[in-house]
């Protein structure tokens, strides 16, 4: 009897628990359903307008002076101090002295030979007076004007073959040309500026010994420069001698005008580039600096210039048509560093100003670029 009561009591407790749980659950508010949110992507767009574009080609090149010489010594001796020091950055005018090498010993030798030559002329004057009187006056005047410290003047011309053979027999011509050769050698002890310019390299100082064939430095003209740029074979169309060029530097301010002067006929096998030489001049230019050249080409395009980053698959762009993104193939006329010139788009087309985060067929909201 007691066992039956215990079972009935347990069932009653279970039933009560179920009833209470059901009541509590019914009192709890049901969870709200999440509202479906429709999110439309906003895409900035630009209304396109085709126009005639004068094509330009951008290239980077190295600047080199048109007149640039290595300075070498042709004689051996001790370097002397000149009016100006031959140091990097020092300017010299055309015809001024760049360097001096001591020539005392060689100069004395030349003077001695001139003196001997003077005596040789004096020794033939009596024979000239009696055998060739028509030439005597000219040779007498030549002797009276003779100065061993000055270069030899041209010899009087013989009146006939007999007189010429007579002078040759006396070694007049041999001695004359030997001395003229020495005079040319003496000139090499003084190095003269071949043009107005400045020293860009100096490898010697006064008081040091220089030897024949030794390089002493480099000297350049600062008036005209050649900017050497490499142009891809595919971009060479429209590049011609006479094209105007805008030249700028990424390191210093300024803009220079240039002209295409030469185009190489040789193609680099490895890079497929052609060397183009641009003549440029102006203040602030220095041998060896890198410059950007914008070459005005002899060709045009009717299209639009857009940022290069908007290209999709290298020859397509995204347009927004009735709030739907469409992909449009274009013809790329020219690729620049940051932009491209393309044809194949219509006036009024809405160009999407982003190429990432969107795709063909997606619904968008066009936001017009101001």
**pLDDT tens readout for residues 276-332:** 999 999 999 999 999 999 999 988 899 999 999 999 988 999 999 999 999 999 999
Confidence of residue 17 (pLDDT cuts 50, 70, 90): low
Q: Which residues contact 115 (CB under 8 A, 6 or more apart)?
A: 148
- Rounded mean pLDDT, 30-36: 48
**Could you give the CA distance from residue 83 to residue 185 in angstroms, rounded to a whole number?**
22
pLDDT in tens, 38-95: 578 899 999 999 999 988 888 999 999 999 999 999 999 999 988 899 999 999 999 9
The closest of 229, 313, 305, 297 to 263, measured between CA atoms, is 229
Which residue reads 């100065």 in tokens? Answer: 147
Res 28 pLDDT > 70: no
Q: Where are the domains of the chain?
A: 44-52+302-368, 57-65+222-301, 68-102+189-220, 105-187
**Could you give the CA distance from residue 190 to residue 169 in angstroms, rounded to a whole number?**
35
The closest of 106, 108, 110 to 77, measured between CA atoms, is 106
**Could you give the CA distance from residue 166 to residue 162 in angstroms, rounded to a whole number?**
6
pTM above threshold 0.75: no
- pLDDT for res 360: 92
CATH class, 44-52+302-368 region: mainly beta
Res 4 pLDDT > 70: no
What is the side-by-side order of every strand in the sheet holding 77-80? 190-192, 97-101, 77-80, 209-210
CATH class, 68-102+189-220 region: mainly beta
Q: Residue 115 is encoded by which pair of tokens?
A: 């003196």
**Could you give the CA distance from residue 295 to residue 236 in angstroms, rounded to a whole number?**
11
Q: Would you call 64 exposed, middle or buried from its count of C-beta atoms within 10 A (0-12, 13-18, 19+)?
A: middle
Confidence of residue 235 (pLDDT cuts 50, 70, 90): confident
The answer to whether 62 touches 227, Cβ cutoff 8 Å, is yes
pLDDT, mean over the chain? 89
Q: Would you call 220 exposed, middle or buried from its count of C-beta atoms within 10 A (0-12, 13-18, 19+)?
A: buried
Residue 207, by phi and psi: left (phi above 0), alpha (psi -120 to 50) or beta?
left
Share in percent of the chain as helix, strand, coil (round to 5): 25, 40, 35
CATH level 2 (architecture), domain 57-65+222-301 = Beta Barrel (2.40)
Confidence of residue 226 (pLDDT cuts 50, 70, 90): very high
pLDDT in tens, 311-322: 998 899 999 999
CA dihedral (74, 80, 81, 84) in degrees, to 10, reads: -10
Confidence of residue 177 (pLDDT cuts 50, 70, 90): very high
Res 108 pLDDT > 60: yes
**Could you give the CA distance from residue 293 to residue 62 in angstroms, rounded to a whole number?**
10
> What percent of the chain has a predicted confidence (pLDDT) above 90?
72
The answer to whether 186 touches 168, Cβ cutoff 8 Å, is no
- pLDDT for res 300: 87
The answer to whether 268 touches 230, Cβ cutoff 8 Å, is yes
Res 242 pLDDT > 50: yes
Give the three-class secondary structure for 46.
strand
Q: Please provide the size of the chain in residues.
A: 370
């Amino acid at each position: 009897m007691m066992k039956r009561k215990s079972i009935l009591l347990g069932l009653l407790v279970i039933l009560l628990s179920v009833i209470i749980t059901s009541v509590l659950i019914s009192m709890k508010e049901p969870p709200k359903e999440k509202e479906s949110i429709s999110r439309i992507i906003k895409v900035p767009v630009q209304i396109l307008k085709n126009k005639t574009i004068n094509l330009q080609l951008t290239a980077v090149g190295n600047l080199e002076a048109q007149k640039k010489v290595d300075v070498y010594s042709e004689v051996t001796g001790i370097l002397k101090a000149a009016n100006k020091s031959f140091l990097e950055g020092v300017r010299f005018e055309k015809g001024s002295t760049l360097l001096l090498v001591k020539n005392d010993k060689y100069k004395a030798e030349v003077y001695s030979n001139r003196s001997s030559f003077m005596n040789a002329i004096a020794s033939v004057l009596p024979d000239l007076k009696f055998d060739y009187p028509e030439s005597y006056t000219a040779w007498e005047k030549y002797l009276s004007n003779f100065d061993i410290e000055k270069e030899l003047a041209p010899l009087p011309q013989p009146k006939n073959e007999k007189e010429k053979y007579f002078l040759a027999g006396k070694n007049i011509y041999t001695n004359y040309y030997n001395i003229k050769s020495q005079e040319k050698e003496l000139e090499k002890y003084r190095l003269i500026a071949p043009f107005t310019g400045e020293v860009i390299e100096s490898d010697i100082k006064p008081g040091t010994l220089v030897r024949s064939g030794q390089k002493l430095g480099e000297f350049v003209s600062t008036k005209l420069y050649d900017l050497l740029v490499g142009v891809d074979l595919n971009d060479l169309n429209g590049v011609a001698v006479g094209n105007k060029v805008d030249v700028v530097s990424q390191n210093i301010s300024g803009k220079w005008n240039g002209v295409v002067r030469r185009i190489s006929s040789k193609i680099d096998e490895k890079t497929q580039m052609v060397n183009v030489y641009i003549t440029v001049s102006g203040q602030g230019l220095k041998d060896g600096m890198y410059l950007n050249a914008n070459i005005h080409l002899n060709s045009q395009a009717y299209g639009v210039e857009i940022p290069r980053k908007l290209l999709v698959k290298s020859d397509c762009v995204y347009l927004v048509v009735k709030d739907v993104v469409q992909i449009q193939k274009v013809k790329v006329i020219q690729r620049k560093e940051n932009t491209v010139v393309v044809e194949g788009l219509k006036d009024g087309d809405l160009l999407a100003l982003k190429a990432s985060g969107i795709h063909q067929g997606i619904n968008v909201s066009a936001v017009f670029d101001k």
